[in-house]
């Protein structure tokens, strides 16, 4: 089965809760402007198999709206291509869970050499409705393998998870801006991420920390989305996302790191 991504007027994702879940997998992608992608080879990425990051997501009056986890599950062979397997899961928490029971999981398979997406899976359980989707991303027409649908995308396209990990691999001390295509499972966007503050102070887990602040803007069909995102990366070798903040049509959403292992 062949699917075509949509290129309509920029708006927002169809489900507000779905957006909140994806905020911790910030939409980023990246053909590096002024840099070759070879500056971030597989051997120098700031993450490794077994890394697990836990976040607390706050929204509106809910200081603990959802628990979100990001994990580097494994390196594996995907149809003959060495690939990273990334995973994100999200679960709404009490009291929000009493009115919006959400248990979602997303799996990304990205080439080890380039972090370009090859397969993106979503397993949604939202408000009692379940939906599973497996998509293979390809820049040229190809036959589907297994139970997946094939989606035609631009070269160098990444899904939200692969994009986030690529964003971590960027040397922001030497890079001012990156641009590139990202596919979220429904629509194809152009992401523009730029260095906003090389040294910004913010409060995380009751402590003041210094981090690198990145601003992210999305475009679709030539129009700028109303969603605004900022991500603060730790200044150690791991470049861990400490805080992700998004301004969306229904309010402000903040994801804060609570543990790393």
Nearest-Å Rg of the Cα atoms of the chain is 17
For the segment 106-129, what is each residue's pLDDT rounded down to a tens digit?
A: 999 999 999 999 999 999 998 889
Q: Which residues contact 182 (CB under 8 A, 6 or more apart)?
A: 27, 28, 29, 157, 158, 159, 160, 163, 188, 189, 190, 191, 218
List the structure tokens of 40. 């971030």
pLDDT, averaged across the chain: 82
Give pTM, 2 decimals: 0.85
Domain ranges of the chain: 2-260
Mean pLDDT of 231-253: 89
What confidence score (pLDDT) does residue 248 get? Answer: 75
List pLDDT tens digits, range 63-101. 999 999 999 999 999 989 999 999 999 999 999 999 989
Model confidence over 151-172: pLDDT tens digits?
A: 989 999 999 899 899 999 999 9
Beta carbons of 205 and 194 less than 8 angstroms apart: no
How far CA 231 is from CA of 137, 210, 214, in Å, comes to 26, 13, 5
């Amino acid at each position: 089965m062949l699917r075509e991504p949509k290129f309509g007027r920029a708006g927002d994702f169809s489900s507000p809760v779905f957006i909140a879940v994806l905020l911790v997998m910030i939409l980023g992608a990246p053909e590096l402007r002024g840099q070759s992608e070879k500056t971030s080879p597989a051997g120098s990425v700031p993450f490794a198999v077994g890394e697990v990051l836990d976040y607390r997501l706050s929204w509106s009056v809910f200081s603990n709206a959802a628990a979100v986890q990001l994990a580097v599950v494994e390196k594996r062979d995907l149809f003959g291509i060495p690939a990273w397997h990334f995973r994100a899961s999200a679960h709404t928490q009490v009291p929000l869970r009493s009115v919006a029971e959400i248990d979602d999981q997303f799996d990304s398979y990205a080439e080890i050499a380039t972090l370009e997406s090859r397969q993106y899976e979503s397993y949604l359980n939202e408000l009692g409705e379940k939906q599973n989707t497996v998509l293979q991303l390809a820049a040229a027409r190809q036959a589907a393998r297994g139970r997946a649908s094939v989606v035609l995308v631009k070269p160098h396209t990444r899904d939200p998870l692969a994009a986030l990990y690529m964003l971590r691999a960027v040397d922001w001390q030497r890079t001012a801006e990156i641009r590139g295509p990202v596919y979220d499972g429904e629509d194809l966007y152009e992401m523009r991420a730029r260095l906003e503050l090389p040294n910004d102070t913010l409060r995380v887990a009751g402590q003041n920390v210094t981090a690198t602040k990145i601003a992210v803007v999305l475009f679709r069909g030539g129009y700028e989305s109303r969603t605004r995102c900022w991500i603060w990366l730790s200044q150690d070798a791991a470049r861990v996302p400490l805080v992700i903040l998004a301004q969306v049509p229904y309010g402000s959403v903040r994801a804060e790191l609570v543990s790393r292992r």
